[in-house]
Each structure stands twice: as structure tokens, then as C-alpha cells.
Amino acid sequence: MSIDLKQDFFALFGLPRRFELDEAALARAYHDLQGEVHPDRYAHLPDADKRRAMQWATRVNEGLQTLKKPLNRAIYLLQLAGIDPALETNTAMSSEFLMEQMQWREELEEARSAGDADELQHLHERLRQQGRDMLAELRCALDERHDLHAAAEIVRRLMFIDKLQDQIDDALEALED
């Protein structure tokens, strides 16, 4: 067994290079590959073969982690297409989304200050729905319109929502203590 460590994760798992993904096919392909490359199968071989098996297993695990999560998969697709979503440096977003961000941050701070777990939960659910809607937009931008720049902006928005949801989780956890 030999894995081409240079092939992209979609090719590695025998999946089409698309945002929409057959999760069951990914799971099956992962299971099959793990069975072939698991380092225990190579324990009796020379050290070089053991290291190669470890590289293969690591590559398979990295591929699963990248493709399994929609946001990671979208970032990976953009990178494969030569688009750097510039997640850290490009914060340009529509004024409408920036206004929503400000409103959500204010709601978070008010609920946190008031110790209002119900309001924090409500905001979390609204953001979760917003994220689901954006994932649908992202699928359309990547798979149907092939609009990589729009997809990059949606990725940046989703990252903001994920970060805000983490802050809400932290606030809820602090209320439980």
C-alpha cells in the first residue's frame, strides 16, 4: 500500500472536489484507508516503512479533519483554487453584516452582564440558524456559481459567527460556575 502524499484530500478519499459532500462515503473511505495504512500493520517492518506508514496515517487523519467540517472544507477548496480567504487580514464585509455583528455583540454583552442564560441560548440558536443559512449560500457559491470571491467572504462571516458562538458558550459556562 502506498499513498501519494501530494494528492489533495478529495482525491485521497476518492470524492469529487465539491463543497457538498457525501459524509457516508467519506466515512467509508476513511475507514478503508485507515485499515490499509494503520501503523500497527507495519510494526514488523523496518523503521523506514514504519515512518512511511505513520505519514500515511497522519495524512488520512488530516484529510478527514479537513473534509468532515464544512468550514474547513470550504477553506480547503478555496486554497486548492488558489484563493487565500485572508481570514486574518481581510475583514472587509458588507455594512449590513457589520451592523449585524455590532448588534450581536451588544446582545451578548447585555445578556452576559445580566447573567441571562435564556437570552444567551436564544442568541446562540439565532446564530446557529444564521450559520446554517450561510452554509447553504456557501454551497451555492462554490458548487453552483463557482464564485470563489463570494465564497471567501462567506467563509469570513462564518468564522465570525463561530467565534461569537464560542464566546456565548464561554459566557454560559461562566454562569454555570
pLDDT per position as a tens digit, 24-78: 999 999 999 998 888 777 788 888 888 888 889 999 999 999 999 999 999 999 9
- Burial pattern 78-92, b for ≥16 Cβ within 10 A else e, equals beeeeeebeeeeeee
By three-state DSSP, how is residue 52 classified?
A: helix
Q: What is the mean pLDDT of the chain?
A: 91
* Model confidence at 86: pLDDT above 70: no
CA of 120: how far to CAs of 7, 106, 167, in Å? 43, 12, 10
**Can you tell me the distance from the alpha carbon of 51 to that of 160, in angstroms, rounded to the nearest whole number?**
39
Residue 177 banded pLDDT, cuts 50, 70, 90:
confident
- Domains, in order of start, for the chain: 9-68 (1.10.287.110), 95-176 (1.20.1280.20)
The beta strand positions in the chain, using DSSP E, are none
Neighbouring residues of 30: CB distance < 8 A, sequence distance ≥ 6: 13, 60, 63, 64
* Model confidence at 114: pLDDT above 80: yes
DSSP one-letter code for 177: -
In the chain, the percentage of residues whose pLDDT exceeds 90 is: 70
